[in-house]
Structure 1
Amino acid sequence: MQKDMGVWHLNQGPREARTVGTGRVNSCTSLPPSRLGSPTCLDSGRACHGAPYSPLHPPGCQRSAPSPPNPRGRRGERERGGGSERPGIIKAAGTAQPARPRRPDPLRSPPHHVTPPTTQLRRSPLAMALVGALFLALLAGAQAELPGCKIRITSKALELVKQEGLRFLEQELETITIPDLRGKEGYFYYNISEVKVTELQLTASELHFQPEQELMLQISNASLGLRFRRQLLYWFFYDGGYINASAEGVSIRTALELSRDPTGRIKVSNVSCQALVSRMHAAFGGTFKKVYEFLSTFITSGMRFLLNQQICPVLYHAGMVLLNSLLDTVPVRSNVDELVGIDYSLLKDPAASASNLDMDFRGAFFPLAEGNWSLPNRAVEPQLREEERMVYVAFSEFFFDSAMESYFRAGALKLSLVGDKVPHDLDMLLRATYFGSIVLLSPAVIDSPLKLELRVLAPPRCTIKPSGTTVSVTASVTIALVPSDQPEVQLSSMIMDTRLSAKVALRGKALRVQLDLRRFRIYSNQSALESLALIPLQTPLKTMLQIGVMPMLNERMWRGVQIPLPEGINFVREVVTNHAGFLTIGADLHFAKGLREVIEKNRPASTSDTSASSAPPPATTAA
């Protein structure tokens, strides 16, 4: 180890040398090790990086081009430890330490291999797809129509429906027709024909809601009573007669899927079925009893197979044809009277849960003269949360608003009382009040009949609160004389603001409303002074409304409007509950007519072709 010019040189080569004070790692590690006293790699590195020229520099080292001036000056270079003219110091002995990384300089440009960040964001296909799906979902939600009427059928109603449905199912299964069974066993020829179901005993059955299937019926351990004709031929011996048999261990599993058809009507869209007859028994007798007992295995096995194949087609036809004929009696778009109709179209498929079945109906009235008109639904959507009763019906404010606006557009919300139709006391009061006007305008018509006309100026609006239901009406009241063969003479015109309380009731399948006058106020739209002059008329006009007008309104309103239920089913024991923006009616169901009676009344004209066309797929029948 030698000491030259204050620099310690190591015989270990430049790979283990590290400069102190410069903060840089020598990059000339690829040069061969230097001899003692010869220029080191450190000197070469200093010469290559812009250090002052020295005779110690090797002739092969090319001096790099001068770097551009640093804005911070040489003082900044010294502060960073770079560009020092002092010779570097080499540590003496010891293990080489790892090189310190170069401290980044914010004033220098980044290396050429580093790509500067860009401000433009990359739009991946997945992100674009998610944004598009979110936009479509929001658009569909904004365009979704809110229901004006909702109906919920709870699991408590299924027990009543099951009793009536099983009675109908028994009658349908009794119509099963089994083809003749012929065969040969040895020298015996047999023929089984005219097979009929005589009775059906359903020991255990269950009807419940099932999501995505709507209604599920399960029958287990049932039995069928059969009667058929037997024929046996052995050489020249013949035997025939009728015999009774029974099918035991009958299991049936069928599911009804409900949906909305293109017209908005609820329909049975699919029937899935599985049926299995576990065993059959036939009691043979007579001269050839032993022969029949020998053949009974073949006969009963064949009959069991045929019976398995015939149960599901009967149930499929009962669901797709007969039950749909019952659902056709549910009103969808019908007339309420000669002026207004109602639309009970389903807005979407019925939604089934484990405990109930919910249906959303449009529930909108429309004037018959404007069949395509519809009122935008901006009311609160009715909510059904109760499950204590068999059925719940909910109506929003939109349901009643559309009814009143339809009658308003049809021109029905006006009333004209002329002559004797005006109450006598009110007639005298009005003539006395406007006597001066009559004398000034036309004294010759003072004895002409008096006319009182009420005309609603804007569609009434319904407000439903937990405290009750009210209807606000603004109308004009015109008082005039109508002489014969002369134009009428108008005496006064005023504005009437009324608030009616509405009591909603459900009787059978008719929704009825009874109105009662609660608040009444009249004023003039001309001047406040004339409004003061009308104060004496307020009480007589209110009495006239209560005695003469409200009974006519209630008579018309009490006719009611039908609720979307099939024919033969009514509501009983109704309870009305008001909420904020809607009301609910909880009730129980009652079959006023038998299911068979209603179906027979509405059965399609020809069911033979329909039955053939409605046969279930082979996969739906379990042998």
Structure 2
Amino acid sequence: MTSCLLSVLFVLPLVSSIMAAVEHAGCKIRITDKGLEMLKLETQKFVEEELSNISMPEMKGEEGRFQYTISDIKIRELNLTHVDLQFIPDIGLMFDVQNSSISLTFYRQILYWFFYDTGNINASADGVNINTALNLIRDDDGRLKINNITCEARINKMRAEFSGTLGRVYDFLASILTTGMRFLLNKKICPALDHAALVHVNGMLETIPVRTEVDSYIGIDYSLIDDPVVTSRSLDMHFRGMFFELANQNDSLVNYAVDPIIREYDRMVYLALSEFFFDSGMYSYYKAGLFQTDIVNDKMSKDLEMLLRTTYFGTIMMLNPAIVEAPISLQLAVNSPPKTTIKTSGATVVMTAIVKVILLPPGLSPVQLSSMTMVFKVKLFSSFRFKIFSNLSALESLALIPLQAPLKTMLQMSVVPLINSKSLVQHLNCSECVCVCVCVCVCVCVCGFIVIGANLHFSKGLREMITGSNVTESDTNAI
């Protein structure tokens, strides 16, 4: 019994430390194999553009009495007919090209005895096979990064067609030239793709901020908290998904919320947002002082002012009849961070606020007529309900019943739009997301988190995104 107890005492701190080290994601994104179909087309275009820009060195040589120089080698066309993009479990992505072809043209200069001939050569590489594997990781700053690339390229055969006066005579040189060309092309394909992935694509990924301002009050941290999780059907990315106050960026909530779980594969992309995602946003706005307002003078409707004066007329007369005409103010301040609850029925934000009715006599100190506690629930993008009671007595709570209708109207016009406009989903957008359009979207509430599934298409190609990111980066450096 004693040994068992000692074992438990030894294991408990270890388990506690492991649990403390595990950080739940506030936001998760899943790209499914259906999403890869869209990415495959963009990847194919990008690879074709990269291979089209391959620069080939000049070739010189001798064969018997023949001396030749091959220059101005250009790739005219790529026909990537059998292309596949798929997930590699625990590694990343594989881009595979099989049985494709490449058309080239180059300029020849041939000297045979005293005959000198020049002309163009059209060549084609057939049976082009390229297999590329990308290892995806999280870098030190929390960005997605291509860690390394494994590439294998092979060209089965190459043909050349000569033109010019002595074109037919030189046909026997074709095997020599095409062998050299095939060797050079084989050696150039993988370095070109390596450079494209590790320099161009990683360069674009480095321009994506992982901490950015949402507005003048709060910012968001959507850095990756671990390496992407890759299975045969999907790629899952776990983001911190945490908002913070710009004035005090180290003051943030601890994530004790349920870790979002995405079980679906039917859509191209899934986005899961936990209660922590919304709570951290509400907490940041609360700390920034946005959930408080002072309704006075022109901000207060005449009907509400008349109702307040009628309700507290007796109190004012007992205090000082001389200040009965003084301006009246309604101060509302949320006294604790709002709490989000997500259930299958929807997402609800619960807030508690102190409402004070204050008289503002000119030249005198403000006079507090009443203090009330208001608890209200806002169903995001939907309904709103609240209750109000006096902090002084149950009798005054009964007297406040006539105030409920105008206060509810006032809150629906002021607080509810504030919460919905700050409901934070829109603030996931980064500058690069303008390249993606949502075609079909479905939202499902699960206990503790929301899952949004969507089908997408690109409004910009990968090349345009890389070019745009380079322009943005150079403009920033110039500033």
Q: Report if TM-score (shorter chain) is over 0.5.
A: yes
Q: 1:423 to 1:540 in 2, by over 3 A?
A: same
Q: Which has the higher helix share?
A: 2
Q: What SS does the aligned partner of 1:195 have?
A: strand
- 1:522 paired to 2:388: yes
The equivalent residue for 1:573 is 440
**Does residue 436 in structure 1 map to residue 314 in structure 2?**
yes
**Residue of structure 2 aligned with 1:170, choices 41, 48, 51:** 48
SS in 2 for 1:415: strand
Is 1:154 matched with 2:32? yes
| d(CA) in 1 for partners of 2:156, 2:175 | 14
Q: Is it true that 1:300 corresponds to 2:166 in the alignment? A: no
Match of 1:489 in 2: 367
Once the two structures are overlaid, the 10-residue window that deviates more, 184-193 or 284-293, is 284-293
Structure 1 position 251 matched with structure 2 position 129: yes
RMSD: 2.5
> Where do residues 309-328 of structure 1 align in structure 2 (5 Å cutoff)?
309-328=187-206
Query: Residues 345, 499 of structure 1: CA spacing in aligned structure 2 closer, same or farther, 3 A cutoff?
Result: same
CA contact (8 A) 2:281 2:424 kept: no
1:535 is matched with which residue: 401, 407, 411? 401
**What secondary structure does 1:345 align onto?**
coil
- Counterparts in 2 of 1:385 and 1:595: CA distance versus 1, 3 Å: same
Deviation of the 1:153 alpha carbon: 0.5
Structure 1, unpaired ranges of 5+? 1-119, 122-127, 503-513, 608-623
Query: Counterparts in 2 of 1:106-505, with a 5 A limit?
Result: 139-502=17-380
Aligned to 1:545: 411
SS of corresponding position for 2:337: coil
Structure-2 change in CA distance of 1:602 and 1:563 (3 Å):
closer
Between the aligned residues of both structures, percent identity stands at 50
Amino acid at match of 1:404: M
How many residues align structurally? 469
Unaligned runs of 5+ in 2: 475-479
Aligned mate of 1:584, from 451, 458, 479: 451
- Aligned position for 1:614: none
Task: Work out which structure has the larger RCO, using CA pairs closer than 8 Å and 6 or more positions apart in sequence.
Answer: 2
- Could you tell which deviates more after superposition, 134-143 or 296-305? 134-143
Letter matched to residue 577 of structure 1: V
Q: Which has the larger radius of gyration?
A: 1
Code of the aligned partner of 2:450: L
More moved, 545-554 vs 301-310: 545-554
Q: Is the 8 A contact 1:230 1:242 kept in 2?
A: yes
SS in 2 for 1:387: coil
Partner Cα separation in structure 2 for residue 320 and residue 226 of structure 1: 26
Q: Give distance in 2, aligned partners of 1:440 and 1:171.
A: 84
Q: SS in structure 1 opposite 2:403? A: helix
Contact 2:378 2:416 in 1 (8 A): no
Alpha-carbon shift at residue 545 of structure 1 (Å): 1.8
User: Residue by residue, what CA displacement relative to the aligned partner does 1:391-441 show, whole Å, maximum 9, x if unpaired?
Assistant: 111111111111111111111110111112111111101001111122222
CA distance in 1, matches of 2:398, 2:389: 8
Distance 1:242 1:166, change over 3 A: same
Distance in 2 of aligned mates of 1:179 and 1:395 = 53
Q: Which SS does the other structure have where 2:265 is aligned?
A: coil
Which deviates further from its counterpart, 187-196 or 521-530? Answer: 521-530
The 3-state SS of whatever aligns with 2:162 is coil
TM-score (norm. length: structure 1) = 0.72
Contact 2:84–2:97 (CA<8 Å) still a contact in 1? yes
Residue-by-residue CA offset, 1:268-304 (whole Å, 9 max, x unaligned): 1111100011111111133333442222111110010
- What amino acid is aligned across from residue 175 of structure 2 in structure 1? T
C-alpha change, 1:134 and 1:260, in structure 2 (3 Å) is farther
